[in-house]
Amino acid sequence: VEPSAVPGPGSPQCPLVDVASASNFSCFQLQHFHLDLRLNFAVKEMSGWLVLDLIPIQMGNHILVLDSHPSLLIHSIDCKVPRSGQEEPVSLTYRIDPFTDYGSSLNISLPAAAVKPGRLIEITIRYTTTDGPAIWWLDSELTCGQSRPLVFTQGHSVCNRSFFPCFDTPAVKSTYTATVRVPDGVTVLMSASRSAYSKQDRVFQFSMEFPVPSYLVALVAGELQHVDVGPRSRVWAEPCLLSCAVKKLGGSVEHWLGVAEDLFGPYLWGRCDIVFLPPSFPIVAMENPCLTFIIASILESSEFLLIDVIHEIAHGWFGNTVTNATWEEMWLSEGLATYAQRRITTEAYGEAFTCLETVVRLDALHRQLRLLGDNNPVSKLQVKFEPGVNPSSLMNLFTYEKGFCFVSYLSKLCGDIHRFDHFLRDYISKFKFKSVVAQDLIDYFLGYFPELQGAAVAQREGLEFERWLSGCGPPLYEPDLSGGDPLIQPVQDLCDLWRNIECPDLQTVTSFDLSVWSTFQIVLFLDRMLDHSPLPHGDVANTIGRTKYILMYTVPLYEDLVAGVMKYVAVEIFYQTQRRMHPNLRRTIQQILFQSSSTQSNQNAPALSLMSSSSPSPSPSPSPSLTTQPQQPSAKATTTIALRDVNVSA
Annotated catalytic sites, by residue?
312, 400
Binding residue per annotation — 347?
no
Sequence-distant (6+) residues with CB within 8 A of 478 are 362, 405, 408
Exposed, middle or buried, 423 (CB in 10 Å: 0-12/13-18/19+)?
Answer: middle
- Closest by alpha carbon to 171, among 18, 300, 394? 18
- Closest by alpha carbon to 354, among 486, 224, 234, 461? 486
Rounded distance between C-alpha atoms, residue 600 and residue 499, angstroms: 28
Binding residue per annotation — 62?
no
Binding residue per annotation — 315?
yes
Exposed, middle or buried, 600 (CB in 10 Å: 0-12/13-18/19+)?
Answer: exposed
Strands 174-181 and 219-222, how do they pair? unpaired
- For 263, the 3-state DSSP assignment is helix
Rounded distance between C-alpha atoms, residue 18 and residue 387, angstroms: 9
Rounded distance between C-alpha atoms, residue 320 and residue 312, angstroms: 10
Could you give phi then psi for residue 64, rounded to 5 degrees? -105, 125
142 and 623 Cβ atoms separated by less than 8 Å: yes
Rounded distance between C-alpha atoms, residue 527 and residue 609, angstroms: 12
Sequence-distant (6+) residues with CB within 8 A of 6 are 12, 13, 434
Rounded distance between C-alpha atoms, residue 445 and residue 457, angstroms: 11
- Which strand ranges, in their side-by-side order, compose the sheet holding 121-129? 90-91, 72-80, 121-129, 45-56, 28-40, 174-181, 203-212, 194-198
Distances (CA, A) of 190 to 124, 195, 217, 273: 21, 8, 7, 10
Residue positions forming the annotated binding site for Zn(2+): 311, 315, 334
Residue positions forming the annotated binding site: 311, 315, 334
